[in-house]
Amino acid sequence: MSVWFPSSSIQSNLPSILNSALNNKKIQIAFLIFASLLIFLGRQTDNGLQNFDDAYYAQKGKEVLNSESLWLVTHTGIPAFDNPPIPFWFMALAYSLFGVSTYSAIFSSALFGTGIILLTYRLSLLLFKDCWIAFASAFVLLFPGLFVDASRRSMVDIPLAFFVTLAFYASFKARDHKPWYLIFGLATACAILTKSVLGLFPLTIFGAYLILSRQWKEIINPWFLSGCLIALTLGFSWHFINWQNYGQDFIDIHFGYLIGNRNFGSAKPLYFLGYAKDFSRNYWPWLPITLIGLAIFGKRGFKDNDRTSLLLFLWPVLTFLVMSTGKNQVIRYLFMMFPALAIINAKTISEWLSPDKKNLTLRIMTGVIALSILFVNITHFRVKVSLDQQSKEVREIASIIKINTAENQKIGNYHLSPYNPRITMLFYASRVIELNGNYDAMGLAKALSDNPRKVWLSTIVEFRKFADQYPDKAYLIKAGSKYAFFTSMENRENIQYDFSTISTKPPTNIKDKGSGKDIHSSECRGALEQLGLFINSWDEKPALPQPTSWLVLPPVRYHLRKTFPLELYRVVTTACGIDKESSWQGKNQDMKCSKELRSLRASVDSLINATNAVEKPSSSSSDKLEKNCITKGECEFQPSGIRYAVIENYSKVKAACKTG
């Protein structure tokens, strides 16, 4: 007896079975989510963060994690007015779950990137009811690798693109269900809380769309107005809170310098063509199809009164035109319009292909995505920024630097640039490299003699030159492939290499033998009153009304002020018990007083960090500065906003601790 299997029937139906599976919505969504996560998160444990933007943003997330405020973002302990906080909240959450690492720093970007892929798919499906167009939209967004590369980095542009895409998705859903306008407003608010005024694009573009399509009743719809109110009030809450804390300094730096001067100041001729050049170099093979698709959608939107086409046309076109007016043009700033371009490309291609060719193209797209997963996760090829080793030289010596330095100890800078590797070293070693590295060999030799316990960082080349001139002055602690970490020869006996002796857990529940007892507070109050005499003498207006110095990362404006009395402040911290860890309540039994004392400590620490970070102005103004220092005692560069915070916190301490 034989059994017959219809193998020929199965083989003949295999293409149709495969096509049916590939066109299945649930399978497509699952595949895209799975593929996106593998592509964005693959090979991330050993790559490292790129210096400047990546490490700069990742460090902000670290400081948010350790901060008492979610709204006051800092970098190196200095208030940072350049970026709103939402991306750093998600980074901080990842750090709290997985620990501080490269992987945690990029984790939220990968999730947001996956969310954009899913939203683009869902939006295409909502508009055209075609799974092929939806899948092709996601494919166009993934390739070429601009979007993939950004989703694998700890940047703020991908979170912005996610919230902008969510806002437009909600606006299309609101055509049939008006409460979606509340989601539209919330998404726009989150976009503003991600990248400030750039988050206004959904609101402005959708407003222009309603006007151009003459939907006057929609403009006054209560749901739409409520969404607008949510977008503006919640979106600008960070700006309001920082203005309350730092006053005019925040307005001048965030809106005046960062948004105004940096984007609309003097620029090269034809600067407005920068994005056009970037697209002509990087947006292949989609660029010709994009231009044709935009022309088709523009015609349908304006001539045929197709509202879907009109909004999809306005989304990228208005974004492109407005962004081109700024002189600071980087293509990643336009990622918020990439989903619209992907949908336009997919719809245009769909109209050119027959059903059979669509099925073939779908198989090819699926295969390319599958091969990309393998390429990222299995091969060792190093291409693009996010697949190449970054900051390897810093990571080689970060652990030895951390073990041999105190938490607030600064590392000397010998012939290093101001920000490289300063920013990545701060993230990986949690230590600050001094900005000023303008020592000659004789100056370094003197510095090693004057402060033998100090540690230094330089390049291998510069260290060898110094060691040749002064062979018995410097002790090399650790040499990596690029950098040399060293100290004075007298300090060599204090250097540690045994990591097993270092506790990996921070101290908790720190107390001293005086805690819990009835300690008299007269010593604390007396020290506070002495500090108050200085604070009251801080003039409201500086001698020089204009800022005399700038620090670029983060952007901070400095005025020349009276030097803050560190010795007097140390007396206060000791007498009042705020030199202890924050988990300890201090020597004063009044909980409110202890809380305000810790707030004072935080603001003074920010002032000290900011003052130490500033680079002194050029010699052209040194005579005037020296005169002010001699005649008025104004010898220190201090950011006004941080200074105001110290004054305000002192006034709260004065009230809470009942000092005179």
**Rounded distance, CA 138 to CA 157, Å?**
18
549-551 vs 556-562, strand pairing mode: antiparallel
Residue 508 has pLDDT above 70, yes or no: no
- The answer to whether residues 388 and 54 touch, using CB atoms and an 8 Å cutoff, is no
What pLDDT, in 10s, does the model give residues 285-322?
Answer: 999 999 999 999 999 999 999 999 999 999 999 999 99
Residue 586 has pLDDT above 50, yes or no: no
Alpha carbon 470 to its chain centroid, in Å, reads 42
Amino acid code (one letter) for 234: L
The segment with the largest mean pLDDT, out of 66-75, 312-321, 448-457, is: 312-321
Residue 253 has pLDDT above 90, yes or no: no
Dig out the tokens for 496 from the structure: 């540690």
- Higher local confidence (pLDDT), 64 or 480: 64
What pLDDT, in 10s, does the model give residues 646-655?
Answer: 888 888 888 8
Residue whose C-alpha is closest to residue 419's, from 130, 41, 72, 56: 56
Dig out the tokens for 556 from the structure: 């901070």
Amino acid code (one letter) for 341: L
Dig out the tokens for 525 from the structure: 């109050």
Residue 281 has pLDDT above 60, yes or no: yes
Give mean pLDDT, residues 446-457: 92
39 contact partners, CB below 8 Å, separation of at least 6:
142, 148, 151, 369, 372, 373, 376
Dig out the tokens for 510 from the structure: 């720190």
pTM of this prediction? 0.84
Dig out the tokens for 632 from the structure: 């008025």
Query: What integer best gives the mean pLDDT of the chain?
Result: 85
The three state secondary structure string of 416-467 is CCCCCCHHHHHHHHCCEECCCCCCCHHHHHHHHHHCCCCEEEEEHHHHHHHH
The segment with the largest mean pLDDT, out of 139-153, 433-447, 595-609, is: 139-153
Residue 485 has pLDDT above 90, yes or no: yes
- The pLDDT-based confidence of 260 (bands split at 50, 70, 90) is confident
Return the residue matching tokens 């899913």. 118
Least confident range from 93-102, 347-356, 539-548, 565-574: namely: 539-548
Phi-psi region of 432 (alpha: psi -120 to 50; beta: other; left: phi over 0): beta
Domain boundaries, the chain: 13-247+275-377, 392-493, 522-656
Q: Which helix (H) or strand (E) holds 484?
A: strand 483-488
What pLDDT, in 10s, does the model give residues 223-235?
Answer: 999 999 999 999 9
**Rounded distance, CA 4 to CA 622, Å?**
98
Q: Distance between the two ends of the chain, CA-based, in angstroms?
A: 108
- CA angle at 76 for the pair 537 and 62, rounded to the nearest 5°: 135
Work out the percent of the chain whose per-residue pLDDT is above 90: 52
What pLDDT, in 10s, does the model give residues 6-31?
Answer: 555 555 566 777 777 788 899 999 99
Residue 501 has pLDDT above 80, yes or no: no
Residue 345 has pLDDT above 50, yes or no: yes
The segment with the largest mean pLDDT, out of 45-49, 65-69, 147-151, is: 147-151
